[in-house]
Amino acid sequence: MRYLLIDNSNTRTKLSFGSRDSIESWHEVIPTVELSEQRLNQALNGQLYDAVMLCSVVPQKAELMERYFSQSPFHNLCHTSKLGIAINYPHPQQIGADRLANAVGVNALYQTPAIVIDFGTAVTFDAVGADATYLGGVIAPGLASMTQNLAKRTALLPQIELSEPKHAIGKSTTEAMLAGAVYGYRGLIKEIISKLSDEMQCTPTVVATGGDAALIAKGLPEINHVSPTLTLEGIRIAATLQF
Ligand SMILES: Nc1ncnc2c1ncn2[C@@H]1O[C@H](COP(=O)(O)OP(=O)(O)O)[C@@H](O)[C@H]1O
Ligand SMILES: CC(C)(COP(=O)(O)O)[C@@H](O)C(=O)NCCC(=O)O
Ligand SMILES: [K+]
């Protein structure tokens, strides 16, 4: 079986192929706002696959893809999918599909209990117990969302490009904003990991994924692993259970 795996998140849509055992190195990234029939045609030109596993948190784009892949075996990952984990959550239909995929990925590939942090448009924290149970988590603004909003709502603050600050005492507007964003964000992450670990009554494995994972994890010893493909791995594992 060759699976087409799609992570349709708010900023970027990542496409990959996978098998029962692993994901392939072929990889395509489409900005989610640009996702269309035409972009899918371009990306998938000449590719053969047996089934499509979609993980979407953008309903309008999910509908587009459901139509686009109507001739293929197709599944849209949700809380009722075969995931190989239990879900301890009062209204599981609320949980973002990417958060479920992250929980599936971390449960299969790392030691549990675990926390998976996805540094995307939003930053999400999801806790998985030692018994392969999804427990819930935290949603906070993503790093870029936070800094972009600051620039949008002020007259004098510019849009900044995120990178490691040189020092905390900023000597320019940009330096001051960078320190606020990166150091401030690391503080937010640390505090949330600490609170979650207290409630989980353990020292969980902490795995980071998503666009800003590498920048923020650098200098945060609380994060044990950075796994850029964790969401796709979770989608692949769900595909192996579905098809
Ligand atoms: N090439 C890139 N394109 C867009 N965002 C990027 C890129 N590289 C790093 N980023 C950062 O990653 C964040 C988006 O992460 P991503 O995991 O793609 O989000 P989502 O899963 O919500 O689509 C952006 O906010 C940005 O700060
Ligand atoms: C929290 C999210 C916006 C994260 O999306 P992302 O940043 O990966 O694009 C997404 O998982 C979502 O829309 N969730 C639904 C609400 C919930 O999980 O409770
Ligand atoms: K995501």
- Band the pLDDT of 173: cuts 50, 70, 90: very high
In angstroms, the CA 70 to CA 86 distance is: 29
Residue 153 has pLDDT above 90, yes or no: yes
Return the ligand 2 atom nearest residue 32 CA: 9
CA of 235 to the centre of ligand 1 (A): 19
| CA distances from residue 207 to 123, 157, 186, 188, 194 in whole angstroms, order as listed | 13, 33, 15, 16, 14
pLDDT of residue 185: 97
pLDDT, mean of residues 69-75: 98
Return the ligand 2 atom nearest residue 99 CA: 11
Residue 3 has pLDDT above 90, yes or no: yes
Interface ipTM above 0.85 = yes
The tens digit of pLDDT for each residue in 218-242 reads: 989 999 999 999 999 999 999 999 9
Cβ-in-10-Å burial (0-12, 13-18, 19+) of 243 comes to: middle
pLDDT of residue 26: 83
Residues of the chain above pLDDT 70, percent: 100
In angstroms, the CA 14 to CA 16 distance is: 7
pLDDT, mean of residues 15-37: 96
Indicate if ligand 2 lies below 6 Å from the C-beta of 120: yes
Peptide bond into 113 cis (omega under 30): yes
pLDDT of residue 219: 87
